[in-house]
Amino acid sequence: MLRVLSIALCLLLITAINISSVRAQYGQGFDSEELHAVALRAGDAMREWHKQHGSFPNLDQDVDKALKFVCEKVNGAPVSSTTQVTYSGSVHSIDNIRMIVDRSITNAPIEEWKSRPPATWNAPANSTVILTDGKNQFLIWTSVISGTPMRDSNEKCKFVYGKLKSAVKEDEDSDTSED
């Protein structure tokens, strides 16, 4: 009897783990709302950076400064003076927040990317990826357990996109995360 109960408990745990993994793939699992909330806060920080500096970062040292700024805004606390930005190619990272100057987002097919994001959009699970053209546009997406972008209940890619006109006024700004 004890053996039967042990087997039943193991099967129940395996089923629960599998269901959680499947839900997380599509942004419906544990912490999916918080993960998207990080993207929204990062978008607010990017807008604030643009307002203060007149454009988004373009040079490596400015990307590092902007990344630290975003991390502070997202986490609500200063970045430690010992925190180092790490690099992998053109990707600047602090913990699970990454920033990349990617000019391909200039005049990008935003509506198409909601259905079919670029194949290059891959990052470690639970990462927040900030793409900027180095001038006035940004796009922020978050990765699920598979490393691919989070999707909403309609299978559309959830991301935050902003196209800012000047340091003072926003021209076009949208959060494409509606379900």
**CA quadruple 64, 111, 127, 69: dihedral sign:** positive
At 32, list the tokens.
């999916």
95 lies in some domain: yes
Residue 15 lies in a domain: no
What is the H or E stretch that residue 100 is in? strand 97-101
Q: What is the pTM of this model?
A: 0.77
Q: Could you give the number of structural domains in the chain?
A: 1
Instruction: Examine residue 2 and state whether it is found in any structural domain, yes or no.
Output: no
Helix (H, G, I), strand (E, B) or coil at 104: helix
Q: Which residues of the chain have pLDDT under 50?
A: 4-30, 168-174, 177-179
Residue 135 · residue 109 · CB < 8 Å: no
Does the residue 126 lie in any domain? yes
Distances (CA, A) of 123 to 6, 97, 98, 99, 120: 38, 10, 9, 12, 9
The domain of 139 spans 31-175
Question: Considering the domain boundaries, does residue 121 fall inside one?
Answer: yes
In angstroms, how far is CA 163 from the centroid of its own chain? 17
Q: What pLDDT, on the 0 to 100 scale, is given for residue 19?
A: 37
Strand partners, 164: none
For residue 63, being part of any structural domain is answered with yes
Residue 74 near residue 105 (C-beta atoms within 8 A):
no
Q: Residue 6 domain-assigned? A: no
